[in-house]
Amino acid sequence: MKRRHLMTVICLSLALVFLFGFHAAKASAAKYSWRFALEEIEGSMQDAFAKKFKEVAEQKSNGDIQVDIYPYGQLGTSSQITELLQNGAVEFAFQSPGHLGSYIPEVQIFSVHYLFPSNEEVIKKVLKESAALYDTLGHCYEAKDFRLLSIIPEGWQIWTTNKEIRKPDDFEGFKMRVMTSPLLVEAYKAYGASPTPMPYSEIYSALQLKMIDGQVNPYFAIEEMKFYEVTKYMIKADQLMFICTFVSNNEFYKNLPDDIKKIVDEASAAATDFIFSYQDKLNEERKGKILKAKPSMVHYELTPEERAAFQEKAMVVRDKYVEIGGPQAREILDSLVKEIEKVQKEIGS
């Protein structure tokens, strides 16, 4: 094991011993004491979901359940949280598909640009009802010891850059930070960019040091992580909704008594419903906050014609998904495309 990696493991283990000792002492009154790890900081979308989940689970169990929330920074990067969840060191976590692709290749369906339409009503209905996602993709989670409990939209991913991007050619030589799933590299290569995968916590300084020329995240994250301080443009291209998965350790979930499992499912459904209506509000609020804090920030929405040029380039990434997205990729892609078309017809969009 490399020295740097060994030090990371030792530091993380010490932090865990400290946190879990504290957690055990606090939890003595509750029958079920659970840890919920976030990939985002306090005040974020994931934090809002976790607070609602905690409130409903604790209230419905009359105090038998206690949920402790660990915001980003306490338990490591997204990939480190994946390992903690997989070995049962935490019971619940958010797992961004953008980071989970090396564990569950099929989850990279959420990294295929322009697969979902711009109509948010369609996206929400598909995310709530999709058999391709909850059944087929859900089984892929189970094969890796995870239980997929819910899928939530966190907002459109906005290109936050130091160069104006209006057409694919503008991405020539552009170093774009992406999350660590391999398909995201393909997504930006398709536009001609130089994708640079790195953890969330490293983006700000990478922008400041000009190691990257831009990053991509929803407004709420751009505001709370202060990415706008070190960029000039926010560009909305509707290429991808940030979609996140709420997950538990599968053995842990399967071994819960039925009444407790029911509470988990109900708390998850309540938190999901809450986020479905809160998402737009938080993002709009944060967008306003950014533009107020930095009036020189340029906000631009691509026209339908400009968007079409990116859409065309993105089509090859569907084939790439089938190639690197694991054995279920073809089935998930084909079923999801049909489900989206069906919902579009139902809604009349």
* Closest distance of CB 261 from ligand 6CS, Å: 27
Run of H or E residues at 17: helix 3-26
β-sheet with 214-217: strand ranges across: 194-197, 175-178, 214-217, 158-161, 233-236, 298-301
Give the nearer residue to ligand 6CS in terms of CB position, either 116 or 200.
200
Choice between 120 and 266, CB closer to ligand 6CS: 120
Q: Which is nearer to ligand 6CS, 27 or 197 (CB)?
A: 197
Q: Cβ of residue 176: shortest distance to ligand 6CS, in angstroms?
A: 12
CB atoms within 10 A of CB 6: 10
The CB-nearest residue to ligand 6CS is 200
Nearest one of 199, 218, 195 to 279, comparing CA atoms: 218
- State the angle between helix axes of 258-293 and 120-129 in degrees (0 to 180), rounded to the nearest 10: 160
Q: Phi and psi dihedrals of 310, rounded to 5? A: -70, -40
Residue 51 CB, nearest approach to ligand 6CS (Å): 16
State which residue, 220 or 233, has the beta carbon closest to ligand 6CS.
220
Q: Give DSSP secondary structure letters for 29-62.
A: T-SEEEEEE-SS-TTSHHHHHHHHHHHHHHHHTT
For ligand 6CS, which is the closer residue by CB, 32 or 200? Answer: 200
Distance CA 136, CA 278 (A): 28
CB of 308 to ligand 6CS, least distance (A): 26
d(CA 332, CA 267): 27
Closer Cβ to ligand 6CS, 38 or 132, answer by number: 38
Q: Give the residues lining the site for ligand 6CS (CB under 6 A).
A: 39-40, 78, 96, 99, 154, 179, 200, 217-218, 221, 242
Q: Which of 67, 60, 64 is nearest to 263 (CA)?
A: 60
Nearer to ligand 6CS, 46 or 61 (CB): 46
Q: What is the DSSP code (8-state) at residue 112? A: S
Query: Please, which residue, 221 or 260, has the CB nearer to ligand 6CS?
Result: 221
Shortest Å distance, C-beta 346 to ligand 6CS: 30
- Nearest-approach distance from CB 179 to ligand 6CS, in angstroms: 5
Smallest gap from residue 174 Cβ to ligand 6CS (A):
17
Q: Smallest gap, in angstroms, from Cβ of residue 208 to ligand 6CS?
A: 16
Q: Which residues contact 134 (CB under 8 A, 6 or more apart)?
A: 148, 151
**Residue 180 and residue 196 in contact, taking contact as beta carbons nearer than 8 Å:** no
The single-letter code of the amino acid at 208 is: Q
